[in-house]
Every structure is written in C-alpha cells, then in structure tokens.
Amino acid sequence: MSLQNVDIKENEKIDEDFKAIGNLLTWQKYFLTIGGLWPMEKTYIRASVWTGYLGLHLIMEYTELFTLFGNFNSLVISVLESTMQSMVFTKLIVFRHSKTLCTLLEAMKEDFSGNMYGNHEEKRLYLKFHDLSKWYYKLSVPYIMCGASMYYSRPLLTSLLTGGFGTNNSMFFPFQIKLPYAVLDMQTYFMTYAYLSPMVYLLACQNAWICLLITTQLHICGQLSIVEHRIRTMPYANDDQERNMIFKSVVDLHTRSIWMAKSFDDSFHFVLLVDLVVMTLMLGLMSYIVIIGGEMEESAIGPLYTFCGLATLGLIYGYCIVGEALISESSKIYTAYAECMWYEASASFRKGVMICLLESQEPLRMTAGKFFVFSLPGFTNILKTAMGYLSMLRKVTE
C-alpha cells in the first residue's frame, strides 16, 4: 500500500472520528437528565425533587454524626460520608443553575458543528485531547457506578456471607443516618433500604460532573493546540492576504480559548476548592479505614474503601492532569509567538504579534479558590496533605 493511500485512509478515519465528537456531551446529557440535572434543560421540578431528597439525607447524616462522638472509628466513617455527600450537594446546586456552564456548553457545540478546524492536521490535534476526555469518561463512569453499587449493597452482602441475614443484628444500612423512626422488623428495614437506593445515582453524578468539567477543559486545550499549530505554519515571506487571514483566525481562536478558560475558572474555582479540600480529606480518612479495617465490625470494609480510595485518587488525578495540560498548551503558544519569524513581516503585523505575546505571557490555569493550581506538582502536594491527615489520625488513636 502506497504512502498516499495510507494518508487517505488516515484522513478518512480522522473525518469519521470528528463527526462523532458531539457524542461525549450527549452521553453526559443522558446520564444527568435522569435526575433533571443537565443545566441546558428546564427540568427544574425533577431537579428540585432530587435536591430535596439529598438535602433530607444530609440532615439525617449530620444528625447521626453528632451522636457518634466517643466512637472514633464510626465517627471517621460518618465524617467521610457526610463530607462526600455535601460535596455532591454543592455541585448539584451550582451546576444545575450555572449560566456560565450553559454558555460554555453552547460554545462547545458551536465548535463541533462549525468549520473552525480547517484541515486534517488541526482535527488530529483536537482529537488527541477529545479522545483523552472520552476515555476518561468511559473508564471512570463504570468504575464509579460499580463502587457506589458496592457501597450501597455492602450491608446486605455482609449479612448474607456471615449467615446473619434476617436477624436484628443484620439490620444496618449503607449510610450512617439518624432515622426519625425505629426499625424493628424486616419490612420496615427493606422499605428504608430501598428509600436509600437513589444515593447510588447521586454519588455517580459526582463523577459525571467532574467528567463534564474535564471535557470542557480538554476542549480548551485542543483549541490552544490548534492555535500553536497555526502560528508555527503561518507564512511570513510576504505581507499578503493569506497570512493576515491566518493571523486573524489565530487571534480569534486564541481569544475565544482565553475567554472560555477564564470564564471557567471564575465560575467554578469555589466548587473546585470544595472538591480539593473534601477529596484530600477523603483520601486521608479512607487510608485510615483501610489500615484499621480488621478492627471494624464489617470485614469487607477494608477492601471496599481501597476500591473507593482508588476512585477518589483517579478523580483528583483527572483534575491535575487536565490542569497541567492547560498550562502546557498555553505556554506553548507563548513560545510559538516568540519563535515565529515575525521580524520578516510588516510593522503592523509585528505590533499584533507583540500584543499577543503580552497576552499569552502568563499561562492559563485551572485553580481551586484562585490560589491552588491543579498540576502534576499540585497532585504531589495533595498526596502529601492526605498522608498528613492519615498520620494525624494514627497518632490520635495510639
């Protein structure tokens, strides 16, 4: 097969993959629409029902939390559950009513349906980041759903395996909550257990929202990669119309990418701060529970929290790898402007490049609370902090 035929087949594959780039947002839409949580649809009544349900659950969680003082191990699990579900509640409120998120999603859809990417090389550069977000979604959603289902079914499976199913000692629930009534018979127990089943979906929504944020950020990274490509392939020999048109497309796309990145950071830095604090704390608490798992009443709690801890680690790493990509791609643009042959162009063109250099001098960042930058060095700091929590818990229990 000739090299030309190989290139044709590769270009056909790129075109085929590019036509399907909107599928990822469609998958995320279908998942979140179940609870009325997709921000671009007016499903407010359905969303209010789920919000009320989770709010009531949190009240019972925190009421139980205050009754567990004196039982340290149970208190640790209660803190872990209540903080995790508070994080979900925060995202539910913010994402469902975020106008900025709707604007960013609309902008992404316009990019998917428009002719912003002019050739196969630009499409290939964008697909590199799109495929990363697609694989992250495909791997994380089944993993998180499996983990949430295991957590929910843990009490039933434990009682079946230990042979205590149907006895009063087996009537415990997957979440530590303070019920407003006493559970004295199996019928009440199963009805209450069924009432808690929507928490599986709500816990999985935590991952779906993170995937949505990661998809948005990787879309911006893909645009920045195209900007760098256009700068490096721009003709400089003559001050002709082609070069000016290419430069205009570079400036337009770069400006759009900066707007999307800064709008994202301005709107979601508080949510990301909540995620940073809670998930770092969760890593420390889960590590502690895994270590003392043999001392707990449930024998399966150690392996289960190992599974959940790996899930939490994957979500934090997703934030950090995307933040690193955003810094890297925006820094490459500054380097591309600096290394381009602007000195062979006209004075007006050189002035335009200088303005772009000043604008791209500071790399774009994804932050938590406007002070913590998600990056690979940041991921190391998160792990250090989580292990610091673990060390503190171990000293408290010595």
Q: For 339-369, write each residue's pLDDT tens digit.
A: 877 666 667 777 777 888 888 888 999 999 9
**What mean pLDDT comes out for the span 375-383?**
93
Q: Considering only 304-318, 348-362, 370-384, which range has the smallest mean pLDDT?
A: 348-362
The DSSP call for residue 374 is P
Task: Quickly state the pLDDT bin for 299 (edges 50, 70, 90).
Answer: low
pTM of the model as a whole: 0.90
The mean pLDDT of 83-111, rounded to a whole number, is 88
Whole-number pLDDT of residue 1 = 46
Residue 241 has pLDDT above 50, yes or no: yes
pLDDT at 384: 94
Judge whether residue 165 has pLDDT over 60.
Answer: no
pLDDT band at 168 (very low <50, low <70, confident <90, very high): low
pLDDT reported for residue 4: 55
Q: Is the pLDDT of residue 77 over 70?
A: yes
Residue 46 CA to its chain's centroid (Å): 23
Hey, what are 355's tokens? 């303005």
**pLDDT at residue 288, rounded to an integer:** 87
- Distance set, CA 339 to CA 329, 332, 335, 348, 354 (Å): 15, 10, 6, 18, 12
Which pLDDT belongs to residue 252?
87
120 vs 10: CA distance, rounded Å:
9
CA-closest candidate to residue 227, choices 349, 335, 362, 103? 335
Residue 162 pLDDT: 63
Token pair for 29:
């839409």
Q: Is the separation of the CB atoms in 234 and 340 below 8 Å?
A: yes
Angle at 309 between CA 325 and CA 30, to 5 degrees: 65
Buried b (16+ CB within 10 A) or exposed e, 183-208: beeeeebeeebeeeebbbbbbbbbbb
C-alpha closest to that of 275 among 381, 369, 364: 369
For residue 169, the model assigns a pLDDT of: 60
What distance in Å separates the CA atoms of residue 224 and residue 220, rounded to the nearest whole number? 6
Q: Which of 104-118, 131-145, 153-167, 253-267 has the lowest mean pLDDT?
A: 153-167
**Band (119; pLDDT cuts 50, 70, 90):** confident
Q: What is the mean pLDDT of residues 111-132?
A: 80
pLDDT number for residue 243? 72
The alpha carbon of residue 324 and the mean position of all alpha carbons in its chain are separated, in whole angstroms, by 14
The most distant pair of C-alpha atoms in the chain lies apart, rounded to whole Å, by 86
Residue 329: the pLDDT is: 92
Tell me: pLDDT of 6 over 60.
Answer: no
Non-local (6+) Cβ contacts of 243 within 8 A are 234, 235, 236, 345, 349
Q: Residue 177's closest CA among 349, 54, 316?
A: 54
The pLDDT of residue 120 is above 60: yes
Query: H/E element holding 224?
Result: helix 198-232
**Among residues of the chain, what percentage have pLDDT more than 90?**
26
Check whether 312 has a pLDDT greater than 70: yes
pLDDT value at position 3?
A: 45
Query: Can you tell me the distance from the alpha carbon of 117 to that of 119, in angstroms, rounded to the nearest whole number?
Result: 6
Does residue 121 register a pLDDT over 80? Answer: yes
pLDDT, greater one: 379 or 115: 379
